[in-house]
Amino acid sequence: MINILHISDIHFGNSDEANERLQQLDADLRYNLNATKLDYVLISGDIAESSTKEEYDNALLLVDGIKKSFIVEKEHIVIVPGNHDVNWDLSADAYKYIRKNKLKEKENDTQSDKNEDDYIDLCNIGKLKRDAKLYKNRFDNFNRYFYEKVKGEPYPIEYSEQRLLHIYDKDKILVLPLNSSWNVDHHFKKRSGINMSALAGAFNQMLGKDYEDWLKIAIWHHPVSGTEMMNNDFMQQLATRRFQLCIHGHIHEAIGDLYRYQDKGIHIIGAGTFGAHVKDQVPGIPHQYNLLRYDKEKQIMTVETRKKEKKDGAWSGDPRWGDNNNDTSYMIKFMQRKTPSKLDMVKESMEHILPTSISAALPTPGKDQIEHLSVTKGTPGSMSMKLTDALLECQTMLNRQSRDAVVNNLRDAIRYSIERSNVSKIDVNNIVNTCINYPGGIAELISIVRSFENGAKCMVEIEKMIVHFSD
């Protein structure tokens, strides 16, 4: 099992606070979660509050403590900056005042740079124009006092280079860190986004290499949904390149749809603030972090969501993100995406031959005959209930958490059409009936369940419902 710690929005006020948080985190990981080792640490921005040396020194106490306590190599720590890691003073220093009459001269100069993003309008007295070179110094404190001390190398100053791929061959994990604050400053505080040159550069690094069966993670600071979302068009490119997981921070309030969101086949996990100042902590909104447990063989990720309600209190499971009051974690199943086999192509062709049928997943490879479950439109409810009962014999469908993971891996059209229920039998029957209404839906459902069960006896009854298809 691979343990990945995800923290964000550290915001420590002093060294005492940092040491206290370290001890509380260490105790929660070791004694509550039985995580005596950490393989990776992902920090999704806002390490500081005002990007000062003192704040980064405090954050270093936490990170260094984690490294020593859990023996985490610096190469296995991934860091991206957030908007609070932009130093406002350095940002302001990059702008130069231009009087109104000088602006008119520049407007007549055909060689002048007329990019409006470079200016801050001062109404009738002129504008402030940024110096592109000085502007890049906004991340100097983040780099000098934190990133370089943790990683042993400088954070790239060029925006197009802020996408250093972390490639871990042993675990078959690829992490792509991106700077969603690259265009944010003291004036344009909401101008978050992903630099397309950086993204293209990362994809160029991946060319000619086989990461097909790897876990591919992208990490940045700002959310891609909700009221503070940045433009998420770039997500289509990540989905095309089969990234399975995206991680971010910036969420300072408990909004469930920001925490567990899936689009274009990518699971998105957001963390709340790990250490906001007590004076800034919103009542009823706890400190939070995530522990991701990844089973490489089964390709299953379990997300443990943790909360701490009081400054001097202990960490515990956070049920607010689950689908019922007892869930403090949820499961993600990453489906392997392989080049279609001959067996897959035959199955697909059969679905085209019988557009009114929904074929079940093919049995385990090695059988001579192609068998599938044929459920035609207008199938009586008894068939649906028989399949429901058979599925409930599988632990995957009996357990709500793993059942949610199955549903989350169905295509969006099916997943969003299912009317969920807290009653297991009704819930599974609703899943079955919805899948019946979509070509290939039952095949998809059974295939996902089979991947979870991994040859369990519960699949025997389902296999009995498989019928032969002949020309």
* CB distance 301 to 331 below 8 Å: yes
What does the mean pLDDT of the chain come to? 80
Amino acid in position 191: R
SS3 letters across 84-149: HHCCHHHHHHCEEEEEHHHHHHHHCCCCCCCCHHHEEECHHHEEEEECHHHHHHHHHHHHHHHHHH
Residues of the chain with pLDDT under 50: 108-112, 254-264, 323-325, 337-380, 467-471
Q: What 8-state DSSP symbol labels residue 362?
A: P
Give the other-Cβ count within 10 Å of 77's Cβ: 20
Q: What 8-state DSSP symbol labels residue 28?
A: I
Q: What predicted TM-score, i.e. pTM, was given to this entire model? A: 0.71
Q: What is the pLDDT of residue 325?
A: 47
Q: What is the pLDDT of residue 133?
A: 93
d(CA 322, CA 402): 12
The CA–CA distances, whole Å, from 100 to 91, 97, 103, 112, 123 equal: 22, 10, 5, 15, 9
Q: Is the dihedral of CA 150, 153, 154, 160 positive or negative?
A: negative
Q: What is the pLDDT of residue 340?
A: 43
Q: What is the pLDDT of residue 124?
A: 76
Angle at 460 between CA 455 and CA 462, to 5 degrees: 110
Task: Classify domain 2-87+138-333 at the CATH topology level.
Answer: Purple Acid Phosphatase; chain A, domain 2 (3.60.21)
Give the other-Cβ count within 10 Å of 101's Cβ: 8
d(CA 459, CA 449): 9
Q: What is the pLDDT of residue 468?
A: 33
- Joined together, the tokens standing for residue 265 give 């086949």
Which residues belong to CATH 3.60.21.10 in the chain?
A: 2-87+138-333
Q: What is the pLDDT of residue 375?
A: 36
Please state whether beta strands 371-372 and 287-295 pair in parallel, antiparallel, or not at all (unpaired).
Answer: unpaired
Instruction: List the beta strands (DSSP E) in 155-199.
Output: 166-168, 173-177
Of residues 221, 152, 192, 217, the one with CA closest to residue 11: 221
